[in-house]
Amino acid sequence: MSSVLKVSDVCKTFTQGDQEVKAVDGSSMTVDKGEFVSITGKSGSGKSTLLGLLGALDYPTSGSIDIDGQDITKLSERKLTNYRRQKVGFVFQNYNLVPNLSALENVMLPMEFAGTPKKERTKKAEELLRSVGIEADKQHRRPNKMSGGEQQRVSVARALANNPKIILADEPTGNLDSENGQKVFDLLHGLTRNHETTVVVVTHDLDIAGKTDRTYNLKDGKIKQR
Amino acid sequence: MNSISRGLRNAFRNPTRTISIVLILALSIGLIIAMLAARQAVDAKIQNVKGSVGNTVSISPAGVRGFEGGGTALTDAQLAKVSDLAHVTGVTETLNDRLTTSTTNLQSGINPGELGMRRSGQTGVGTPPSLNENSDGSNSGTNQQTFTMPVEITGVSDASDASTFGGSKVTWKSGAAFDASKDENVAVVGTKIASKNNLSVGSTFTAYDTSIKVVGIYDAGTDFANNGVFVPLATLQKLSDQSGQITSATATVDSLDNLSGVTSEIKSTLGSSADVTSSQDTANQLVQPLESVKSIALFSLIGAAIAGAVIILLTMLMIVRERRREIGVMKAIGASKATIIRQFVAESVTLMVLGLVVGLGLGVLAATPLTNMLVDNSTSSSSSQGASGPGQGGSGFRLGGLRIARTAARESNENVQASVGIDTIGYGLLAALLIAAIGSAVPAYFITTIKPAEAMRNE
């Protein structure tokens, strides 16, 4: 199986007052296409920081991140925007849906940024929402009229909008009860199996981590495969 | 939906806040529009006053104001020098005199009244009033009507312009003006004195033991002006034994550009024997309250514009700060900075346009009352200052163009009508867009500094 993601000796340092804090300290990892990978670790271990680096939300202090054969640490800001638009999809712990847009409009948003025509993006958003279990009667609801599980499924649909190669999920079940958490997990798991989409999920839930193809553990900024 | 329509929709995301911001912006924009309208109206009036007073220079003997003060009359010879100056297109001369019961059979058309009785003792004209004495020796304070108002007679060297007889509103009731170049014993009189003495065109009256024929009766709109008697200058000089003497003159200059220079030359020619006043000086002095209003309007306009910009700036900063994570999420899912900035600018422009619509209504409603209030305050403040100054509150003595200028200016000050036209709305719109642009610029900068990693922040 070919690797879609290769992280080599990545460091991320923050300055807090007079002190330098190494959130990620020389981490390296590889993820294959269609693989479901989890990153575990205690709170403050640097999991979310690493996920942000993989999603080009921030630049690493050193090291390289190759995604689909391209080192994203060398890309300009403009190219990084395109990378985020085309290659990755994000699922956040707090769902992060735009509150005054409906579920459908939220899913259409990444497609609008990618320049997809309105008719096409409406049709695709409806399909995606149906595929995650949000039927037509709920597609025009605003996030505050939906349950946490529903919001997270909308968030997954939004992440899939531009057919990304990688889905990066930050504690996707963290705010959900076990039933809804399982649904979202199954959804992400299904993506890897049915669409060969690579999923990297950050979690502190060892049950979930145990069900993924590969698990990395992050401790004090250093990563190890379990 | 695109970034523009999202921005438009976001403007209504918090209705209570939107209403508050729109109302505050509307007040600011309303004030801008009202002040723009006030400034335009006042400016138009200033130009109107300056234009209406013409290019004239008033000349009077030094120390004279009306029939008060002393001084020596000017002479034909002195004014001939003025006529010869470059850029002077003409000089009209007048001679004033007062007719009393011993020099005319005319009776004044104006009753002395309380004011006339009080002043008769000060001017020495007629018999001073006496007070009724009560049996206990105290005064009752009632005047005996033994005093009659004097009749003012004016000799003019040019009667072709009706304004000579009392301002721009003079109309002929019957007859017409005389030929002022001749020394015929003819006169035009005002309706008030004509009515009092049963005069009509063709009838005569006596002055300086000479019979003078009425050739015209005019109406100048006020009792005072309609109590005048006008004769050719040469006639009055001859009858009153004031040959070659002049009590006031008005020099007309060929253009406004030369007015200041000619005024200086006249002053230099006549020296200390004459008081020389340019009509523009007078107009400038009289429109001073309007100039103050113009300045106040400008400062208010600038203040309102700055306030509007600050309001929208702070509002947008607050909104951007509130939506940091949302901006981060949008960046994380592929939005460019330009897309996000466009969305926020659309939101700020929507708020401004709403403010403009409401503010326009407020501006239209407030323009005239605000302008009138400013003009009234400035004019009354200026009048009260002027009345206490030296040489003010003059009598009915004519100072040619100067008097016309004062009348025109006073009338103009009283009739400033502010209206909100298309150009004012256009300027208001421009100001609103400028305010929105300034108000959005700083928030736009902050948007560029927000990192997409903000989306990962768990609050």
Using beta carbons and an 8 Å cutoff, which residues of A are at the interface with B?
48, 51-52, 55-58, 78, 81-82, 84-86, 89-90, 92-94, 96, 98-101, 105, 108-110, 112-114, 158, 162, 170
pLDDT reported for residue A121:
94
Could B336 and A114 be called an inter-chain contact, meaning their C-beta atoms sit closer than 8 Å?
no
Please compute the mean of the pLDDT values over residues B119-145 and round it to a whole number: 48
- CA-nearest residue of chain B to A77? B336
Select from A109, A110, A92 the least CA-distant residue to A169: A92
B458–A contact, CB cutoff 8 A: yes
Q: How confident is the model at residue B381 (pLDDT cuts 50, 70, 90)?
A: low
ipTM: 0.92
Report residue B186: phi and psi, to 5°.
-125, 160
CA A34 – CA A213 distance, rounded (Å): 10
pLDDT reported for residue B431:
79
Select from B294, B274, B316 the least CA-distant residue to B439: B316
Could A100 and B329 be called an inter-chain contact, meaning their C-beta atoms sit closer than 8 Å?
no
Mutate to test the interface with A, among B333, B347, B451, B457 (most CBs of A within 10 A): B333
Q: How do beta strands A166-170 and A88-91 pair?
A: parallel
CA A11 – CA A6 distance, rounded (Å): 14
CA B188 – CA B154 distance, rounded (Å): 10
- Token pair belonging to B168: 């721009």
pLDDT reported for residue B37:
86
B9–A contact, CB cutoff 8 A: yes
Whether the pTM exceeds 0.90: the reply is no
Please compute the mean of the pLDDT values over residues A175-195 and round it to a whole number: 86
Q: Give whichever of A60-64, B9-13, B310-314 has the largest mean pLDDT.
A: A60-64
CA B364 – CA A13 distance, rounded (Å): 60
Digit-coded pLDDT (tens) for B160-204? 877 778 766 788 899 989 998 888 999 999 999 999 999 999 999
pLDDT for residue B128 is more than 60: no
Q: Enumerate the residues of chain A whose CB falls inside 8 A of the CB of residue B2.
A: 112
Q: Enumerate the residues of chain A whose CB falls inside 8 A of the CB of residue B458.
A: 48, 93-94
Digit-coded pLDDT (tens) for B209-261? 999 999 999 998 888 889 999 999 999 999 999 988 998 898 988 887 788 89
Select from B56, B59, B55 the least CA-distant residue to B78: B59
Please compute the mean of the pLDDT values over residues B349-369 and round it to a whole number: 87
Torsion angle, alpha carbons of B206, B208, B212, B214, to 10: -80
Show Cβ contacts of residue B132 under 8 Å, excluding neighbours closer than 6 positions.
B139, B140, B142, B144
Could A92 and B331 be called an inter-chain contact, meaning their C-beta atoms sit closer than 8 Å?
no
Please compute the mean of the pLDDT values over residues A136-164 and round it to a whole number: 92
B115–A contact, CB cutoff 8 A: no
Mutate to test the interface with A, among B324, B330, B456, B459 (most CBs of A within 10 A): B456
pLDDT reported for residue B70:
66
Q: Which residues pair with A11 in a beta bridge?
A: A62
Q: How confident is the model at residue B415 (pLDDT cuts 50, 70, 90)?
A: low
B6–A contact, CB cutoff 8 A: yes
Instruction: Provide DSSP, chain A.
Output: --EEEEEEEEEEEEEETTEEEEEEEEEEEEEETT-EEEEE--TTSSHHHHHHHHTTSS--SEEEEEETTEEGGG--HHHHHHHHHHTEEEE-TT----TTS-HHHHHHHHHHHTT--HHHHHHHHHHHHHHTT--HHHHTS-GGGS-HHHHHHHHHHHHHTT--SEEEEESTTTTS-HHHHHHHHHHHHHHHHHS--EEEEE-S-HHHHHTSSEEEEEETTEEEE-
